[in-house]
Each structure stands twice: as C-alpha cells, then as structure tokens.
Amino acid sequence: MPSLNSEQLHTLAARILQGAGVSATNADVVATELKDANLVGHDSHGVMRLMQYVDYINQGFIKPDAECEVLREESSFALLDGHFQFGQVAATKGLQLGIEKARAGGTATIFVRNCNHVGRLGSYSQKAAMQGLAAMMCVNAPGPGGVAPFGGIERRLGTNPISMSAPRGDNPLVLDMTSSATAEGKVRVALQKGDTLPEGWIIDSEGNPSVNPADLYGPPEGAIVPLGGAMGFKGFGLSVMIDVFGGILSGSGVCRDDLPRGANGVWMYFLDVEKFIAPAEYDALMETYVASIKSSRRAPGVDEILMAGEIELRRQADRMESGVPIPDETWRQLTELAKQVGTTIDDV
Ligand SMILES: NC(=O)c1ccc[n+]([C@@H]2O[C@H](COP(=O)([O-])OP(=O)(O)OC[C@H]3O[C@@H](n4cnc5c(N)ncnc54)[C@H](O)[C@@H]3O)[C@@H](O)[C@H]2O)c1
C-alpha cells in the first residue's frame, strides 16, 4: 500500500484533473480540498473521488469551463449559480463572498445552486473560523440520495451534512457531520478495503439491517439509515430541513432526476464574532467552557474528551508526519485513470 505526503497527493490530483481538461487554477482548488480531506483522515472525500469526478466530466455533469455566477446580491446575502463547475470552486467563491459580507455587515447568508459535490464541509467552515467568524454550512442532495426516511426502506434523501464552526485560535470548534448514520463514501471505502461495516449504518433492499457494504450498492440497492438509530427520526428531521434550506430555498432543488449522485445545494451562514462580543471576552468564555467539558470524569477506556474538529486536527498532525496510506485497489484505479487522461502518477 503506497503512502503519500501532502505534496504528492496534491500533485497526483492536479495532474489527473488537468489531464481531464481542468484549468490549472481550478485543479489547484480541487486538488487542495481532496488532499486536505485525506490529511484529516476523511479518505472518503480524498483523492479516491477523482475516479467519480473524471467520470462526471466525461458525462458532462461537471463542466470544467463554466463560470460561477452571482445571480442576486444584497449587503447581507448572495445567491450564486455554480453552473455545474466543480463544487469546490463554487463553494470557495461562496465562502470568500460570505466572509467579506459578514465582515462588513455582521452576518451573511450565501446560497449556491447548480453546484457539484463540494467535498468536506468542515474545510470551509474551519477556514471561516480561522478568520474570526462563526459559520454554518449545510448541503443537500438535489439529485438521487442514498438515505431512507425514518420508517421507510427506499432511498429518498441525501446524506445531507451540516457543519458548524466557532473560532478558538488554532483549534476552532468544527462540527462536521452527516444527518445520516454514515457518509456514503465511508461505505465505499469499506467496500474497496473488503471490510465489514459497523452495525446500524445500512439496510439491504428489503429493509434488513446489514453490515455488508455491497448491500448498499446491489443490485438491488439498499439504503443508508438516518442518524440516531432507534431515534432516527431526529436525523431524518434534520435531513428534511437541510433539503428545505439547501435545496428548496437555494433553488438547487430536490428530487431532480437530471443530476448525478453527489450534486449539492449549498446554504452557508457567517457571523463576525467581534461584532457581537469583545474578542477577549469571547476567548475567555470559550476556554472556560472547553476546560469544563474536558474536565468531566471519563468512561472506562477513554483517555481524553475531544471537542468537535479535534480528532481531524490530530489526524492531520499525524498524517503530515507519516503520510496517507492509499489502499492498493484505489492506487490501481488512480494509476489507470492517470493513463486514461494522458498522464502518469508513477513518479509523484
Ligand atoms: N458534500 C457532500 O455531499 C457530503 C455528504 C456527506 C458527507 N460529507 C462529508 O463527509 C465527512 C464525514 O462526515 P461524517 O458524519 O462521517 O463525520 P464523522 O462521523 O467522522 O465526524 C462527525 C463529527 O464528529 C466529530 N468527532 C468524531 N469523533 C469524535 C470523538 N471521538 N469525540 C468528539 N467528536 C468526534 C468530528 O470532529 C466531526 O465534527 C464530513 O466532512 C462531511 O462534510 C460531504
């Protein structure tokens, strides 16, 4: 199993994307998001996505030459049309515009419609937090989703994730989670590695609980269940509201059959912390709060209570040192893909 460092991951992704016709600037944005996802340990959103992305370029779902457009804009909000450029490119533009507007007016709302897969939401909300903004970001799946409603056994919803962040020096709080029991990519990773799944993630086509990742893909295909197990109506309810905000209010849509799996409707919200509370007071409250939480007596076998986003920062530090292991099957597929788009990754 090869192990690649940050620069190697970026180089391989940028080469493949440019080979597939993506401009150097946009390939850099997408390659950076992919390698960052690998570095924080979310391999399901890392370079293994390149197979899907190049396939979507070939099928015309991703339009590498499209320009992301601002359709409507006032001081406190903007509505963007991604025109099916890469989701990472559109979301990065939304992030920049949202931060600018929140700095000027205190808060800002950004919607992005016609957007491809943006990748890991926590990447964007963390960037906002590092600049002193509290942020929220939700994305829906305007196209086909893989999640059954609570009480249902057929796919009707996306994994509809939400991320919320709050500044805290170099260690911002970054909650970044699906409203389903798992991200679909984690099932795909298990399938590629030949692993079984934890219980409670998926059901097969008849609605039976399954730990076999192949049961999700079929045929006949199964479904991911909403977050919350027996209390899955909570994850289900959250997912529905993310469809309303990310899909219906943004104009991205829901239940669209003209889009592939992975397309996103985006809702972002930014709040400039210092417009609401003095920075020194905010910092002191956050430190008191985090210290109080971490000081709780711990369950057996637990060494430390972690705040949201902390595990990703730890994995990032580890993987910056040791590199990111790429499963043999993923490496084989990437090598093949590089050949297909007229480049090589053997020498990265
Ligand atoms: N663009 C899309 O369409 C899309 C769809 C689904 C998921 N995603 C992305 O997939 C990624 C994975 O989502 P997920 O729900 O599987 O994440 P996850 O279950 O790994 O983590 C969820 C949250 O829990 C926190 N956490 C994890 N372990 C913890 C612990 N021991 N103690 C305290 N906190 C802990 C993490 O910091 C994170 O904020 C996310 O980055 C998400 O944005 C994207």
Task: Please spell the DSSP secondary structure of 222-281, one letter per residue.
Answer: -EEPBTTGGGHHHHHHHHHHHIIIIIIITT--SS-SSS-TT-EEEEEEEEEGGGTS-HHH
What pLDDT, on the 0 to 100 scale, is given for residue 215? 98
Tokens (6 digits) for 186: 């984690």
What pLDDT, on the 0 to 100 scale, is given for residue 1? 81
Chain centroid to CA 325 = 20
What pLDDT, on the 0 to 100 scale, is given for residue 193? 83
Would you say the CB of residue 224 lies under 6 angstroms from ligand 1? no
pLDDT digits (tens, 9 = 90+) for 46-61: 999 999 999 999 999 9
Would you say the CB of residue 226 lies under 6 angstroms from ligand 1? no
Average pLDDT over residues 3-11: 97
Tokens (6 digits) for 110: 């950004």
Look at the block and give the residue holding tokens 């009480």: 151
Instruction: Using the mean position of ligand 1's atoms as its centre, give its distance from the Cα of residue 71 in Å.
Output: 31
Q: Going by C-beta distance under 8 Å and a sequence separation of 6 or more, which residues neighbour residue 236?
A: 149, 150, 157, 179, 226, 228
Sheet holding 209-210, edge to edge: 209-210, 202-203, 223-224
Would you say the CB of residue 249 lies under 6 angstroms from ligand 1? no
Would you say the CB of residue 42 lies under 6 angstroms from ligand 1? yes
The CB density around residue 218, as the number of other CB atoms within 10 Å, is: 10
Would you say the CB of residue 264 lies under 6 angstroms from ligand 1? yes
pLDDT digits (tens, 9 = 90+) for 305-334: 999 999 999 999 999 999 999 989 899 999
Probe target for ligand 1 pocket from 62, 311, 313, 315, with the most ligand atoms within 8 Å of CB: 311
Look at the block and give the residue holding tokens 């499209």: 66
Atom 13, ligand 1: residue with shortest CA distance? 177
Average pLDDT, the chain: 97
Q: Give the separation between CA 54 and CA 51, rounded to whole angstroms.
A: 6
* pLDDT over 90 at 185, yes or no: no
Instruction: Using the mean position of ligand 1's atoms as its centre, give its distance from the Cα of residue 207 in Å.
Output: 25
Q: How confident is the model at residue 188 (pLDDT cuts 50, 70, 90)?
A: confident
| Ligand 1: nearest atom to the Cα of 308 | 37
CATH code that applies to domain 66-179+229-277: 3.30.1370.60
Choose among 75, 59, 56, 71: nearest CA to 264.
56
Atom 8, ligand 1: residue with shortest CA distance? 120
Asked if 129 contacts 167 with a C-beta cutoff of 8 angstroms, the reply is: yes
Instruction: Using the mean position of ligand 1's atoms as its centre, give its distance from the Cα of residue 62 in Å.
Output: 25
Burial of 340 (0-12, 13-18, 19+ CB in 10 A): middle
**Per-residue DSSP letter, 170:** B
Tell me how far CA of residue 306 lies from CA of 124, 311, 340, in angstroms. 21, 7, 43
Instruction: Using the mean position of ligand 1's atoms as its centre, give its distance from the Cα of residue 177 in Å.
Output: 4
* Superfamily of 182-224 according to CATH: Hypothetical oxidoreductase yiak; domain 3 (3.30.60.50)
| Ligand 1: nearest atom to the Cα of 177 | 15
Q: Give the separation between CA 153 and CA 140, rounded to whole angstroms.
A: 20
Q: How confident is the model at residue 239 (pLDDT cuts 50, 70, 90)?
A: very high
Look at the block and give the residue holding tokens 């920075």: 279
Instruction: Using the mean position of ligand 1's atoms as its centre, give its distance from the Cα of residue 182 in Å.
Output: 8
Share of the chain above pLDDT 70, in %: 100
What pLDDT, on the 0 to 100 scale, is given for residue 189? 83
pLDDT digits (tens, 9 = 90+) for 102-155: 999 999 999 999 999 999 999 999 999 999 999 999 999 999 999 999 999 999
Q: Give the separation between CA 196 and CA 124, rounded to whole angstroms.
A: 31
Q: Give the separation between CA 158 and CA 142, rounded to whole angstroms.
A: 8
Would you say the CB of residue 176 lies under 6 angstroms from ligand 1? yes
Instruction: Using the mean position of ligand 1's atoms as its centre, give its distance from the Cα of residue 221 in Å.
Output: 24
Q: Determine the topology of domain 1-60+310-348 in CATH.
A: Hypothetical Oxidoreductase Yiak; Chain: A, domain 1 (1.10.1530)
Average pLDDT over residues 285-291: 98
* pLDDT over 90 at 252, yes or no: yes
Average pLDDT over residues 12-41: 98
Q: How confident is the model at residue 69 (pLDDT cuts 50, 70, 90)?
A: very high
What pLDDT, on the 0 to 100 scale, is given for residue 175? 98
What are the boundaries of each domain within the chain?
1-60+310-348, 66-179+229-277, 182-224
What pLDDT, on the 0 to 100 scale, is given for residue 261? 86
Instruction: Using the mean position of ligand 1's atoms as its centre, give its distance from the Cα of residue 152 in Å.
Output: 24
Average pLDDT over residues 232-249: 98
